[in-house]
Amino acid sequence: MPASIATALDSPSATIALLQSSSLTTVVQQDIERAILAGEYAPGSKLVEATLAERMGVSRGPVREAFRMLEEAGLVRNEKNRGVFVRDIPIDEAVEIFDLRAAMDELVGRQLAKNITAEQLKEVKALVDLMERAVKSGDTREYHLANLKFHDRLVEMAGNRKLTSIYRKLIKELALFRRLNLADGWLMPVSVGEHRQIVKAIASGDEELAGRAMFEHVMDSKERTIENDLRRQSRSTSTATATSNLREYRAR
């Protein structure tokens, strides 16, 4: 099963452990993936096979195979006669991912309201506590990682391995949309409040309430993403064009 994005971002030192249990190609693939998700290779940038092979101290074969795996995962694109590039997810594709994720999270919320254990509930409450500490210290990176882990653990706790695998792939693709809503620190308290409501709804055992809390949280994130993108467009396009794009995204 694919590793969570939070693990990928927060564990650049895991290479030795990987070498003990994985093939060289897998180690190369996961190291490149970590760098992409951490923003070390920006969307649209070219990945040079020879350069990566030299930097990692391997032959070109494992790097070439890693590129194939990353393309299947939706993180890079291979352009004939041009090379391999980090994918740049456009706003319309990001919106589609949000819609699909909202439906998946609603299912997760309903499932957890029925089946979450006391120990699991304690774990997710601790992650929200971690988010609140990050809010107080103004640490956006720590908040982002805790946020990713919170949602990943909820999906994992639901016990559907296929759903978890698909969810992680979608989240990694969404990470390529390098316009994090939480880059503006004022949004973190709003977000952490939504997470508290999710935990409360799940703990209540009310399936409909829990499913709705998770669904609405994702849709609110989608709306913030659209509005952020609109503000960026307004700096380089006319207000009429930006407003038209906003209406188009919301109609999807």
pLDDT of residue 181: 54
Q: Are residues 236 and 155 located together in one domain of the fold? A: yes
User: Are residues 189 and 138 in contact, defined by beta-carbon separation less than 8 angstroms?
Assistant: no
| Together in a domain, 240 and 123 | yes
Give yes or no: residues 157 and 201 share one domain: yes
Q: What CA–CA distances, in Å, run from 141 to 62, 122, 130, 195, 221?
A: 31, 23, 12, 17, 17
At 196 the pLDDT is 96
For residue range 96-144, list pLDDT tens digits in order: 999 999 999 999 999 999 999 999 999 999 999 999 999 999 888 888 8
DSSP-derived 3-state class of residue 88: coil
Residue 130 and residue 206 in one domain: yes
pLDDT at 245: 54
Same domain (yes/no): 45, 121: no
Tell whether 74 and 158 lie within a shared domain.
no
Angle ∠(154,171,180) on CA atoms, nearest 5: 105
* Structural domain of 147: 91-250
Do 105 and 228 have their domain in common? yes
- Containing 206, the helix (H) or strand (E) segment is none
For the segment 24-42, the average pLDDT, to the nearest whole number, is: 91
Final residue before a domain boundary, out of 86, 105, 130: 86
Domain with residue 143: its CATH number is 1.20.120.530
pLDDT band at residue 203 under the 50/70/90 scheme? very high
Greater pLDDT, 54 or 176: 54
pLDDT value of position 175: 84
243 with 123, same domain: the answer is yes
Query: What is the domain-level CATH number for residue 11?
Result: 1.10.10.10
Last residue of a domain, one of 55, 86, 117: 86
Pick the more confident residue, 87 or 17. 87
47 band by pLDDT with thresholds 50, 70 and 90: very high
Integer-rounded Cα radius of gyration of the chain: 19
Q: Both 14 and 69 in a single domain?
A: yes
Choosing from 86, 105, 128, the residue where a domain stops is 86
143 in the same domain as 42 = no
% of the chain exceeding 70 in pLDDT: 81
Say if residue 74 is in the same domain as residue 161: no
Q: Considering its fold, how many domains does the chain have in total? A: 2
**Is 135 found in the same domain as 77?**
no
| Closest C-alpha to 198, from 143, 125, 131 | 125
